[in-house]
Amino acid sequence: MKTKFRTLCLTMAMGMVTVLAACGDGGQAPSGDDRSSGESAEAPGGVCSLLTREQVDAVVPGNDGGREDTSLATAYKDVETEQCRYVHFEDTDMQFLDVFVYRASSDAGFRKVDISGRMLMGSPRKLDIGDISFLDDIDSRTIKVASSKGRTVFELSLNSKDAPAKSDQLINLARVLAGEL
């Protein structure tokens, strides 16, 4: 229950950050390319570089290409945390995919992000990605795939009005991500 509450709070907070950032640009949605016309286009780095815009389009069509969030980098001792958020606005509807990657450098760090205990909560669908993985329906707009591979844990959390209908696409995206880690 605490994990779902924490995920819900984090998702809501990140959504507000994105909305407020859009409002700061005259109410326009982020375009995914804030560079001036004189700068060269560069591919995203870090966790955003693990998936292509086209791959993410399977769950968030028309996404912005992803934006890194480094504010979680030191959330846990012995754990490197990365996040990428892919967003698409359509009228008043916002859909987004959050990709979290946690890399533990010690067993103690891994215990802080280990997902094996989450399988006991609710009724997640077990998957065959990595060492342990599952799909969880958080609510009517949010589904999540979580997986661990060695001391690395990754989560893909999709929030959209048709999220439950995209579970197969999210699982396929998780398989691609697992191959990149």
Give residue limits of the domains in the chain.
44-180
Examine the pLDDT at 158 and tell me if it is beyond 60.
Answer: yes
CATH architecture entry for 44-180: 3-Layer(aba) Sandwich (3.40)
Q: What is the tens place of the pLDDT at every residue in 16-63?
A: 434 334 433 333 444 444 433 333 344 456 899 999 999 999 999 999
Confidence at residue 27, expressed as pLDDT on a 0 to 100 scale: 39
Distance of CA 47 to the CA centre of its chain: 10
Confidence at residue 62, expressed as pLDDT on a 0 to 100 scale: 95
Local confidence band at 69 (pLDDT 50, 70, 90 cut-offs): confident
pTM of the predicted model, to two decimals?
0.73
Averaged pLDDT for residues 137-162: 93
Three-class secondary structure of residue 96 per DSSP: strand
Averaged pLDDT for residues 134-140: 89
Average per-residue pLDDT for the chain = 78
Q: Which of 72, 180, 79 is nearest to 130 (CA)?
A: 180
Strand order in the sheet with 152-159: 67-69, 79-90, 93-104, 152-159, 142-149, 132-139, 125-126
Residue 6 CA: distances (Å) to CA of 53, 126, 138: 28, 21, 12
Percent residues over pLDDT 90 in the chain: 55
Element (H, E) at 87: strand 79-90
Local confidence band at 92 (pLDDT 50, 70, 90 cut-offs): confident
Local confidence band at 2 (pLDDT 50, 70, 90 cut-offs): very low
User: Which one is predicted more confidently, 4 or 145?
Assistant: 145
